[in-house]
Amino acid sequence: MSAAGQDQEGSSACSSCLRRSWLLAELNAALEYLCRDRGRLGELLGLGDEELLRALAGRRRAELESSYARFERADLHQMPGAQEVCRHHRSYPSALRDPGGPRMLNVAGGVERLRGLAAAPTVAIIGSARATDYGVEMARSIARGLAASGVTVASGLSDGIAVAAHAGALEVGAGSLAVMPGGLDVACPARRRSLYRRVTRAGSAVAELPCGARTRRFGEVAGERTLARLAGLTVVVEAHDSPGELAGARLADALGRTVAAVPGRVTSRASSGTHVLLMEGAHLVRGPEDALELLCGPNGPGAHASNAARAELEPRLRTMLEKVGAGSDTPEKLTADGEDAGAVLLMLSELELMGLLARGDGGRYLPRYALIE
């Protein structure tokens, strides 16, 4: 711990790290502009305070330098329930201590809990905000399986895959780790408030920027860099083939973390990005079992419960499940070859009640688990 640490009781962050956080919020506009070039942003965030000021302050440099010199803890916006922790504190996740990582975090849900979550094997489940129902269901089931096996699920809190990952972890009552793009109190859109509260009740939400800081793109990019460091394994569930949606995976790869991707249909644009990753050598993940194997090796705590349930199915239900998995996923398609409609609906409902099927968009049924035999 540095000599500067612990200068105020109750906070686990030192003044210099708090000042860094304050400075990032002040330079928000310039960073927002620059974050289009992700590589350059990474370099900039690795700079020391003075160099950063010199590089980005522009015309405000003199003003910012004087406020910087006179910085006090009270300059930061406070939020009840949020705690600060900096890299000089023992509770700070060790994965974030390398030079490019964030200097401090604002934590909702408690610093000690964050430490516990980050100490467990961590998987980042990331992907497109415009996910299809397939992606949502896969993210959910992978998160559910991983969380049930004691793995920490980490993700952002934007739309699509990220939300599904948290929802999956919450289904088994496990805490998950949410990396927020801006300040803890403003980064969360209103419709995510209830999810945010549920996440912070069992898990933890962290933000690099101080409370009250609003960002658009820069926060997301900075969040990716935190997420990639926190997780030993990054699973991309569904992503379009665009630099923005694949950035998290690229960053994790550059940091030497394991990157895995969930395949989709090759005809679907929504999975085009994950297919590119797979071609570039990312590991293929079909379900939580595969992710656990990547994380803990082949003899780790495998979660084969879903397959056990499948093996015990009556033959008619198993055939039905396989048909749905193969793409005959609506009652209309399933009865097209003259099968008894009542029997088909009964089997679909039975499988749904067993938790093996879920209803997706447009009346389609989705298998909730990958076919792994």
In Å, how far are 69, 78, 86, 363 from 211, measured between CA atoms?
21, 6, 15, 42
362 binds another protein (CB under 8 A): yes
Q: Provide the edge-to-edge strand list for the sheet that holds 82-86.
A: 82-86, 104-108, 204-207, 176-180, 152-155, 122-126, 233-236, 258-261, 283-284
Binding mask 133-162 for another protein (x = CB under 8 A): x--x--xx------------------xx--
**Can you tell me which of 79, 305, 346, 371 binds another protein, judged by CB under 8 A?**
346
Task: Give the interface segment with another protein, choosing from 203-211, 244-252, 309-317, 351-359 (CB under 8 A).
Answer: 351-359
Give bridge partners of residue 155 from the DSSP assignment. Answer: 178
Q: Residue 89 is encoded by which pair of tokens?
A: 């504190």
- Distance in Å, CB of 165 to another protein, minimum: 8
250 binds another protein (CB under 8 A): no
191 binds another protein (CB under 8 A): yes
Q: Which amino acid is located at 74 in the chain?
A: A
How many alpha carbons lie under 13 Å from residue 361 in its C-beta half-sphere?
7
If the CB atoms of residues 260 and 347 are measured against another protein, the closer one turns out to be 347
If the CB atoms of residues 257 and 364 are measured against another protein, the closer one turns out to be 364
Task: Give the interface segment with another protein, choosing from 68-76, 128-136, 230-238, 243-251 (CB under 8 A).
Answer: 128-136
Residue with tokens 């980005």: 56
**Can you tell me which of 195, 255, 305, 313 binds another protein, judged by CB under 8 A?**
195
Give the three-state DSSP class for 125.
strand
**CA pair distance 127, 141, nearest whole angstrom:** 14
- Give CA angle at 364 (144, 164), nearest 5°: 25
Binding mask 305-334 for another protein (x = CB under 8 A): -------------------------xxxx-
DSSP, res 335: T
DSSP, res 175: -
**Can you tell me which of 348, 356, 367, 370 binds another protein, judged by CB under 8 A?**
348
Residues lying near another protein in the complex (CB under 8 A) are found at: 129-130, 132-133, 136, 139-140, 159-160, 163-164, 166-168, 191-192, 194-195, 268-270, 330-333, 335-336, 341-343, 345-350, 352-353, 355, 358-364
